[in-house]
Amino acid sequence: MTFRTSLQTLAAAFLLLAGSFATQPLLAQSTLIQNAPGRRVLSLNGRWNYIIDPYENGFYDYRREAFDQSKSGKGGYYDNAKPSTKQETELIEYDFDHADALQVPGDWNSQRPELLYYEGTIWYKKSFNLQPKAGKRYHLYFGAINYEAHVYLNGKKLGMHKGGFTPIQYDITDRLNPGGDNFVVVKADNTRRPEEVPTINTDWWNYGGMTRDVFVAETPQTFISDYKVQLAKGNMGQLAGFVQLTGEAKANQTVTLSIPEAKITQQVKTDGEGRASFTVPARKLTLWSPQTPKLYAVTLSTGTDQVQDRIGFRTIETRGADILLNGKSIFMRGISMHDENPLIPGRARGEGDLRMLLTWAKELGCNYVRLAHYPHNETMLKLADEMGLLVWGEVPVYWTIAWQNPATYQNAENQLSDLISLGKNRASVVVWSIGNETPLSEPRLKFMSSLAQKARSLDDTRLISAALELHRTPDNVIHVDDPLGEFLDLTSINEYAGWYWGGKPSEITKYTFDIKYNKPVTISEFGGDALAGYHADADTRWSEEYQEALYQQQIKMLSTIKNLRGMTPWILADFRATRRQHPVYQQGFNRKGLISSTGVKKKAFYVLQEYYRQLAKQYDGK
Ligand code: GCU
C-alpha cells in the first residue's frame, strides 16, 4: 500500500522508529507534481545495473525476515555493499557494479531472451551526481514501475508503491548526500497476485520493470505542485480551476495565471493550505477539437516559481443519445490500443513509439483512441492534445478483481486518482473508464459504483464509463442491462459477434440490440484475429478475409443501434499476450490488430478506414 495520508505516514514512521533507530522513516509518496516532466530535470534514463532475484534474497534473510525491517535496516541489496579490504573480509554475495545492465525506460521481458516470461523481482541500481542548490527541492520521479516497487536512496528506504502504470515520486531533498554522489536502488516485482489491480489473469503481457522515464525534478522550496486550468463544466465562456502550492511559504501567496493569446491575466491568493480556486471569463477562445486541436500557452507564476503548459479548452457532455463536444453532436471514430510498440514488442519506450501509434490511428481516420486497459504514458496524452485525438483513459480494474478486499479497492482508487490527476489538464481526455468486462455480482457493483462516484468527485468535467457486460438470448437479441450502467455517462460494451460467438461473419447481422439505458452507446471492443498475409475465403478463421468480412458485418450490425455514437474496435496493432498460444496463427501474439507485428496493414484496416471516411463526411461535413 502506498502511504498516502500524513496520518498513515506518521504511523508508519513511528512504527519504524519504535522498531529500529537505524532506518529513517519512510517518505510519503508525495502528491504527484502536475506536469513534472516540464520541470528542470536530471534524467536517470539509461543503463541501470540489475540483479535477477527470484527468491528475493536481496530483500529477506534466510528466515524470510525483511532486511529493511531489521534493527540495523541493513543486509539487503539496497545497501550496495562493497568489501572494505582486498581480502574481501565481509561476505558479500552480490555486486551491482559487476552486474549486467538493462535499458531504462524499458520492460525487462523484451531486453533479454531469458527474461521474456520472467515474473518476480529484479533489482535495479543507478549512481548519479547531483549538487543540490540552496533554496531548491529535489523530487525523484518514476513514470511507472510494474508492479510493486521498493525504492531506496543511498541505502535508506524511501517507500513502497503498488500499481504498474502510474508515477512514483519522493521528495529526496533531505536524503541527498552532501558531496553530490548518490545511488538509487529499486526492487521491482511484477508477480501477479489475486488481490492486486490488475489481478492474476489478463490478456496482455506482464511486462515488468521500469517502463517509463526516471528523473530528478528540481523545484523551489515553495513551488506550484498542482493545478487545473480547463473550461468550467458545460460553459464555453468561462475557465475554472485551482492552483496548489507546496512548501513552507505556501499560504497567502499571490499566483498569476496568464494566457497571453487569450488576453487573460488573473491573480489569485492562496489560502492557509496553499490552495486557490479561480473562475475567469474567457470569451474569445478557439475551442479545442480533433479538427482544430488548438493549444494555448498557459503560465502560472508565484514570487518564486513558474510553470508553463500548453492547454486546450473544450466542453464534453452528453444529452440523451448524443455526445456533445463544444455543444455539437459528434461520433467518436476510435480504435483501441495497448501501450506497446508492435514492431519491437514491449512497453512503448518513448515519444517515437507513441507518435507512431497515434499516427497510425490518424491514418485510419480516427478522431478518438481508447488507451486500454491501464494509464498510458502522460506523453501520450500531450501528443493526443497536439494531434487532435479524443482519449478514453482507463484503470486496470479488469475481469475478476478481488471485489471484497478493502486494500484492493483502495489500490484501484489510488490508481484512478493518479490517472485523473495526470490527465486533468488534457483537452483530449474526454472519458475516464473505471474498468473492463467485470463479471456481475453485488460486491462488483458496490466496488465499481463507488469507483464511478470517486471519479466524478475528482473530475465532473469528463464522462465516466466502463466496458459493461452483455448477455444474449436464443432469439438473437443482445441485451445490455448491466446495473453498473446506471452510474455511467456512456453505455459501452465489448461484443465479439463473429469471433467468440454468433457464428461466421456472414451470420451476425441476425442480432438485434436491447439496450436498457437512453444514453450514448459506444462499442468499446469488437474484432477478430487475422494472421497478416494468410489469405483464404471469408469463412476461414484466422485469414485476413475473415477479419475483413467480420468488420464489414459488424459495421452493418452495429449501425442498427440508434444511440450509437462511437466505437473503438479491438485493436490497432497485434500485441503480445500469453493466452494466445496457437503456433501457426498466434505465436504468443493476440492477432486482432488491424496492423500486424511487422507494421503490415491488414485488409480490415481499409474497411474501417472507409467507414470512418463516410462518418467524417456525415458528422464533420468534410
Ligand atoms: C476482451 C478484453 C481484451 C482482450 C480481448 C480479446 O474483451 O477486453 O483485453 O484482449 O477481449 O479477447 O482479444
Q: Is the CB of 570 under 6 A from ligand 1?
A: yes
Instruction: List CB contacts of 222: < 8 A, sequence separation 6 or more.
Output: 245, 246, 247, 248, 249, 250, 253, 302, 304, 305
CA triplet 5, 11, 17: central angle to 5 degrees?
135
Confidence of residue 27 (pLDDT cuts 50, 70, 90): confident
Distance CA 17, CA 313 (A): 48
The response to whether residue 437 sits with its C-beta less than 6 Å from ligand 1 reads: yes
Rounded CA-CA distance 479/301 in Å is 53
Closest residue to atom 7 of ligand 1, CA basis: 494
Inform me whether the pLDDT recorded for 3 exceeds 90: no
**592 CB less than 6 Å from ligand 1?**
yes
Q: How far from each other are the two terminal CA atoms of the chain, in whole angstroms?
A: 50
Is the pLDDT score of 1 beyond 70? no
568 lines ligand 1 (CB under 6 A): no
Chain centroid to CA 576: how far? Answer: 18
Rounded to the nearest angstrom, the distance between the alpha carbon of 592 and the centre of ligand 1 is: 9
In testing the pocket of ligand 1, which one of 204, 468, 494 has its CB within 8 Å of the most ligand atoms? 494
Q: Per-residue pLDDT tens for 528-574? A: 999 999 999 999 999 999 999 999 999 999 999 999 999 999 999 99
Ligand 1 atom at minimal distance to the Cα of residue 398:
8
Distance CA 387, CA 381 (A): 10
Q: Are 31 and 226 in contact (CB under 8 A)?
A: yes
β-sheet bridge partners, residue 161: 149
The one-letter amino acid at 534? Y
Determine whether 114 is exposed, middle or buried from the number of CB atoms within 10 Å of its CB (0-12, 13-18, 19+): exposed
Task: Tell me the C-alpha to C-alpha distance, in Å, between residue 163 and each of 1, 61, 119, 412.
Answer: 9, 26, 15, 9
Q: Is 206 in the pocket of ligand 1 (CB under 6 A)?
A: no
What residue spans of 212-278 are helical by DSSP H? none
pLDDT at 24: 62
Tell me, in angstroms, the distance from the centre of ligand 1 to residue 203's CA: 6
Angle (nearest 5°) at CA 61 between 58 and 63: 145
- 524: Cβ below 6 Å to ligand 1? no
C-alpha of residue 396 to centroid of ligand 1, in Å:
13
Please state which CATH class domain 223-313 belongs to: mainly beta
pLDDT per residue as tens digits for the range 562-608 = 999 999 999 999 999 999 999 999 999 999 999 999 999 999 999 99
Q: What's the rounded mean pLDDT across residues 26-48?
A: 91
Q: Which residue has the cell 500557452?
A: 297
CA of 411 to the centre of ligand 1 (A): 23
- Whether the CB of 218 sits within 6 Å of ligand 1: no
Per-residue pLDDT reduced to its tens digit, 171-202: 999 999 988 999 999 999 999 999 999 999 99
525 lines ligand 1 (CB under 6 A): yes
**pLDDT digits 0-9 by tens, 102-158:** 999 999 999 999 999 999 999 999 999 999 999 999 999 999 999 999 999 999 999
Task: Name every residue whose Cβ is closer than 8 Å to that of residue 63 and which is 6 or more positions away in sequence.
Answer: none
| Ligand 1 atom closest to Cα of residue 499 | 12
Hey, what amino acid is at 358?
Answer: L
Q: Partners of 125 in the beta sheet?
A: 49, 185
φ/ψ (deg, to 5) at 128: -150, 155
Q: Which of 525, 526, 589, 592 is the best mutation target for the ligand 1 pocket, counting ligand atoms within 8 Å of the beta carbon and taking the most?
A: 525
Banded model confidence at residue 345, pLDDT cuts 50, 70, 90: confident
Please state whether the predicted TM-score (pTM) of the whole model is above 0.85: yes
Atom of ligand 1 nearest to the CA of 436: 8
Does any ligand 1 atom lie closer than 6 A to the CB of residue 203? yes
Number of helices (H) and strands (E) in the chain: give both, helices first.
Answer: 7, 35
Q: Hey, how many other C-beta atoms are within 10 angstroms of the C-beta on 136?
A: 13
Domain 3-219 of CATH type 2.60.120.260 = yes
Q: Indicate if ligand 1 lies below 6 Å from the C-beta of 495.
A: no
> Per-residue pLDDT tens for 206-240?
999 999 999 999 999 999 999 999 999 989 999 99
Strands, sheet with 512-515, edge to edge from the N-terminal-most edge strand: 471-473, 477-480, 512-515
Quick one: DSSP state of residue 75? -
Q: Which residues are paired to 590 by β-bridges?
A: 575
Sheet bearing 40-43, strands edge to edge: 40-43, 214-220, 136-142, 168-171
| Ligand 1 contacts CB of residue 202 (under 6 A) | no
Q: Which atom of ligand 1 is nearest to the CA of 525?
A: 7
* Cβ(603) – ligand 1 distance below 6 Å: no
pLDDT > 60? residue 11? no
- Indicate whether 430 pLDDT > 60: yes
Q: Which residue, by CA, sits nearest to atom 6 of ligand 1?
A: 203
Fold of the CATH domain 318-620: TIM Barrel (3.20.20)
Give the C-alpha separation, 372 to 436, whole Å.
9
CA of 588 to the centre of ligand 1 (A): 14
Model pLDDT for residues 274-301, shown as the tens digit of each residue: 999 999 999 889 999 999 999 999 999 9
Question: How many angstroms does the Cα of residue 615 sit away from the middle of ligand 1?
Answer: 25
Q: Which residue has 533531505 as its cell numbers?
A: 174
pLDDT at residue 13 tops 90: no
> How is the chain split into domains, by residue range?
3-219, 223-313, 318-620
Q: Can you tell me the distance from the alpha carbon of 39 to that of 141, in angstroms, rounded to the nearest whole number?
A: 11
Average pLDDT of the residues of the chain? 95
